[in-house]
A = this chain, B = another copy of it.
Amino acid sequence: MKTKIDTIRHSLAHIMALAVQELFPGSKFGIGPAIESGFYYDFGLKSSLAPSDLPRIEKKMKELIKKNLKFKKKIVSKAEAKKIFKDQSYKLELINELYEARPRSKVSVYQCGHFIDLCKGPHIRSTKEIPINAFKLTKIAGAYWKGDEKNKMLTRIYGIAFENKKELDKYLKLQEEAEKRDHRVLGHKLELFMWDQEIGAGLPLWLPKGAVLRHIIEDYLYEELISNGYQWVVTPHIANLNLWKTSGHWNFYRENMYSPIKIDEEEYMLKPMNCPFHVKIYNSKIRSYRDLPLRYAELGTVYRYEKSGVLHGLTRVRGFTQDDAHIICTPEQLSDELAGNLKHGLEILKTFGFKEFDIYLSTRPEKYAGTIKSWDKATKTLKFVLNKLKLKYKTDEGGGVFYGPKIDIKIKDSLGREWQCTTIQFDFNLPEKFKMAYVDAKGKKREPYMIHRALLGSMERFIGVLLEHYAGALPLWLAPVQVWIIPLGSRHEKYAQQVKKELSSFRVKMKDENETVSKRVREGELQKIPYILVVGDKEIKSQSVRVRSKNKDLGMMKLDKFIEKIKKGIENKK
């Protein structure tokens, strides 16, 4: 449903086009829709624009808005439309397409000032409806006509628009905050990961500090899962194409898979998922109902095709490590398994400092594997479990994957943004495809239930989200470097070394470079080091350290008291 602000945004796109027409005569016009938080318009310009041109266009737009220009709608025949847009090649292309689709129908055009556009509307009646202080042009980008890279590149100008200035300012502030938290920038600044052209897009390399962070998280997960009855497995990154044919991936998922690798005249595929491997492990011996539930967990690195244009830092990559698990159980165990999994999963997410979640239940889509009966039963069980755990959720009707219904958990970060991480999915497909079975109490062969679940989603995505959530200032237990020790001068280095030795069970770095103390402290704060210890004469005398944390001076502290403090912090996962 279109709201008033959507209509204003759409009309602002036209006003921007009018301004461009007046400022840059001879411009060609592509399309200009309203989008989330604003609008854009694609222009074919005679010369290129710089961001510094935006204020000029914005100023022109404000002048035009103040004229209280009317939006006039006209219904015209396609022949008439062709006459109106005779100098506008992109519009003519659109009209011709409309002709082909529905030759007899008419089209609508909207005029505002001297700018006329082929447009379905709706629009505001007059520019006086526009809150003049609540919009802003934000950026210029290249955009292929119709999004097709074979076409000409146009100049896209983006704008944002809100109902009032307060909303605009709020949005700008959030943007500014989000930019500061951009994990791509932080990852570079904190030396966590890198990219390399010669290696390839979407393939992160984890630098030492990032690899330590990964290790901490992976280690924590391992301990958590093992002590909760999961069994660890490790599987290869490639498998014969035959496996993917059996599993159905070759049919249903091929566009996300890379091209085959030939080995001895057979074709092998990089794995896009770990599931078939876990199924093979299950199938490696006869299973009894007494063996179930079986919970296989793996940190499995998978490779999936993404267009280079959509790659984005760690949150959209071509290779990533899923914290993947498959739970295989009897029908009787189903709801307990789901409840246990959900509860444990939410606990783990909370440990990482996330407090709010939005839960979505996705039901049967049009194309599906399995029977309606099994879908209904599974969906009912999911609802039952969500209700039992008193978890609020929204239903996404028909939003399930073809192989079963699912629960998705989106975590809210400190800016209130939602990130899809956890997914718990039924699978009616693989147990059938791979003829999975167990022997029940009566000695009868039955098909088990199988649940996929990724809790953090992937190490890459989750670490990206963590960095944005904490703006890089990771809690002590996760910080790759927990403490910096800064001796005031060279005569304090011996004591600093002694402090370092006492802290040897933590991740500590000595900062004894020949730099001013304030420069080293500032550097530590930029590096988001949880604790910066400065030591000088006074500290030596009292066997203390001067503690700085989160840009604040916490004063002198006895060394053993400080050790106790951080030990406790780490134990409590703070």
Contacts and interface: CB of A to CB of B under 8 A. Distances in A.
A307 B264 CA distance: 8
Interface in A205-236: 205-208, 210-212, 214-215, 219, 222, 226, 231-236
A240 B199 CA distance: 5
A4 interface: no
Interface in A254-276: 258-264, 266, 268, 270
Interface in A236-265: 236-240, 242-243, 246, 258-264
A246 B198 CA distance: 9
A199 B277 contact: yes
A393 interface: no
Given A200-B268, A259-B261, A266-B200, A281 B239 contact: no
Contact of A207 (B194, B215, B284): B284
A199 B243 contact: yes
A235 B214 CA distance: 12
Contacts of A301: 237
Nearest to A267: B259
A264 B308 contact: yes
Contacts of A120: none
B194 A284 contact: yes
Nearest to A209: B231
Interface residues of A, number: 55
Interface in A158-210: 194, 196, 198-200, 203-208, 210
Interface string A275-317: 0010011001000000000001010010101011000000000
Nearest to A200: B240
Contact of A205 (B196, B212, B233, B319): B233
A9 interface: no
Given A194-B284, A238-B200, A239-B200, A233 B211 contact: yes
B196 A280 contact: yes
Contact of A318 (B205, B219, B263, B298): B263
A211 B232 CA distance: 6
Interface in A33-85: none
A286 to B, nearest CB: 13
Nearest to A206: B234
Closest 4 CB pairs of A and B: A208-B231, A206-B234, A211-B232, A203-B236
Given A211-B234, A211-B298, 16 more contacts: A199-B240, A200-B238, A200-B240, A200-B266, A205-B234, A205-B280, A205-B281, A206-B233, A206-B234, A207-B281, A208-B231, A211-B231, A238-B270, A261-B270, A263-B318, A264-B308
